[in-house]
Structure 1
Amino acid sequence: MIRELDALYKETAKSERYDIMKALMDCKMAEGSSVGEHVVKMIGYSERLKALEFPLPPGHMMDMLLSSLPPSYDGFVMNYNMTGMEKTPEEVLAMLKTTEGGLRKHRKQVLLVNKTASFKKKKGKPKKGKGTGKTGSQSNSKGGAKNETECFYCKGTGHWKRNCKKYLEDKKTGKTGKGTSEGAQASKE
């Protein structure tokens, strides 16, 4: 009877050990998630394996833990490996939490820069109370160009090319071509 129970326990333990090892190897931390929750979960898997009389060597556990971290922790992993530290997973957890705080600060600064650096022109009319974007030398009225404004087409004053009667007439008759200088063409006529 005891042998049968022992054999049954060993089969159940083998199956559970397989499931835990699979979960431990598949455990990857998502970028931006809590490093504390992730490491505690991995430590829990290690403790369950120890309870099943299948403890992982400390170096192997640390390699699995460090390799499960997202790319934002690559600097931490490199420093840990280069300094030859021999820490317990609990000690590494404390170090990772400190690193996580620094990463979050850095992420917020980058986000703030991205939010303030908008150079796109807004379409539509400006809202009431907002500036129009025109400088003091530009006209605020819808009337058009000031009297001293010179037309690029006919060299007259008080209007722009888009409102120039000569330009509009020449455009209708096809006298304005892309290959010719419009101003030179207007002065010849």
Structure 2
Amino acid sequence: MAISSTPSTTSLGKDSWLRSVMDKCILKDDGSNFLEWEFNIKSVALTDNVLTYLTEAPPIEPGPRASSVVRTAYDDHVRMSNDIKNVLIWSMSPKLKLSCISLNACEISTRMITMFSQTPKVRQYDAAARFFEAKLERGQKAGPHVLKMVEYVDILERLGCNIPKTLVVDRILHSLPTKFAHFRLKYNMNGMDKSYHEIHALLTQAERDMEASGSEKGDVLTMKLKNMSLGVKKGRGKKKSQFKKSSKKHDKGKGKAIENGNPKAKSAKLSEAKCFHCNGKGHYRRSCPKYLEDLKEGRVMPIGFKGRASTSKR
């Protein structure tokens, strides 16, 4: 690799923005997030124009007779390579750090690719699965969630799998929880056609507005739309509950009356009874001794018989 005689002005030291980016994606021991880690590494390396430090072996150290220009260029390369190595080490799990501490930046990148890289078909499947299964969980922010989904789309495009923009937007909106129902409805009803970054900005602002108002209007709107679709009328449920309550109260009272069976109340009620056969008190006709005797002798007809009663025995 040719050594540039111009020192690089890119700083990848302790306060580098690259390190702050890599802090958000620490390479795990099993390499399950290797695609995200590699994407972040290459993205920032391309931005800083230092990708060659990851893909090409370091130059041979110049001899004692080398000119000062060559020596200075070599020293600059070593310094930059060490800065990139520190960033790579910083973005790994403790176990991987120990295994790469003695390697340079190019060797670290090559080893990670050898350990965790997959065939293009497997990488395409993994990125597609992550994209279509992505869902904004409770407590997560909408901004990073959208950027993560866009990263999966970028990976698929680099692998030759292009997803239509309208489908990507629909999938992003579908991955949002119900509190964004108002935003989703407004976006579709107005026929908006925004870029991924514009959607990211709109969702971030909508989330801030909801947090500031302290209410999740999307949940209320979703319930209203669901009730309208099911034909639920206002107040119907309330009336039903009142009916059930009154029914339970009535049954409860009947149960108590039967259960208690107060003999004093029954006795008081019987003492006030009047017999319509003998005009006596304290009993009813059905238990009247005179009525029972006349019924037996045939002098009267049974209760409820509509025929004319006989007054004498035949």
**What is the TM-score of this pair, normalised by structure 2?**
0.31
Cα distance, 1:29 vs structure 2: 0.1
Cα distance, 1:96 vs structure 2: 0.5
Given that 1:62 and 1:89 are in contact with CA atoms closer than 8 Å, whether structure 2 keeps it comes out as yes
Query: Which amino acid in 2 is paired with 1:12?
Result: T
The correspondence of residues 57-72 of structure 1 with structure 2, limited to 5 A, is 57-72=164-179
The correspondence of residues 2-41 of structure 1 with structure 2, limited to 5 A, is 12-41=119-148
Runs of 4+ off more than 4 Å? none
Question: 1:14 and 1:33 mapped to 2: Cα distance?
Answer: 30
Secondary structure in 1 aligned to 2:119?
helix
Query: Which amino acid in 1 is paired with 2:165?
Result: P
Residue of structure 2 equivalent to 1:187? none
The correspondence of residues 6-155 of structure 1 with structure 2, limited to 5 A, is 12-107=119-214
Question: 1:24 and 1:70 mapped to 2: Cα distance?
Answer: 16
Q: Which of the two has higher C-alpha Rg? A: 2
- Which whole-Å deviations, capped at 9, do the CAs of 1:120-178 have from their partners, x for residues lacking one? xxxxxxxxxxxxxxxxxxxxxxxxxxxxxxxxxxxxxxxxxxxxxxxxxxxxxxxxxxx
- Which whole-Å deviations, capped at 9, do the CAs of 1:90-118 have from their partners, x for residues lacking one? 11111111100011112279xxxxxxxxx
Distance change (3 Å), C-alpha of 1:32 and 1:105: farther
Structure 1 unaligned regions, length at least 5: 1-10, 110-189
Query: Which amino acid in 2 is paired with 1:104?
Result: E
Question: 2:137 and 2:196 mapped to 1: Cα distance?
Answer: 19
Question: 1:104 and 1:30 mapped to 2: Cα distance?
Answer: 16
Question: 1:106 and 1:35 mapped to 2: Cα distance?
Answer: 17
Given that 1:31 and 1:72 are in contact with CA atoms closer than 8 Å, whether structure 2 keeps it comes out as no
Query: Which amino acid in 1 is paired with 2:125?
Result: Y
Cα distance, 1:12 vs structure 2: 1.4
Question: 1:59 and 1:75 mapped to 2: Cα distance?
Answer: 19
**What is the TM-score of this pair, normalised by structure 1?**
0.50
- Which whole-Å deviations, capped at 9, do the CAs of 1:37-78 have from their partners, x for residues lacking one? 100100100111111111211001001100000110010000
Structure 2 unaligned regions, length at least 5: 1-117, 217-314
Given that 1:17 and 1:49 are in contact with CA atoms closer than 8 Å, whether structure 2 keeps it comes out as yes
Distance change (3 Å), C-alpha of 1:71 and 1:62: same
Q: Superposition RMSD on alpha carbons, in Å? A: 2.2
Number of equivalenced pairs? 101
Question: 1:55 and 1:77 mapped to 2: Cα distance?
Answer: 24
Given that 1:46 and 1:56 are in contact with CA atoms closer than 8 Å, whether structure 2 keeps it comes out as yes
Cα distance, 1:32 vs structure 2: 3.4
Question: 1:42 and 1:108 mapped to 2: Cα distance?
Answer: 26
Secondary structure in 1 aligned to 2:139?
coil
Secondary structure in 2 aligned to 1:29?
coil
Cα distance, 1:16 vs structure 2: 0.8
Distance change (3 Å), C-alpha of 1:108 and 1:85: closer
Query: Which amino acid in 2 is paired with 1:32?
Result: G
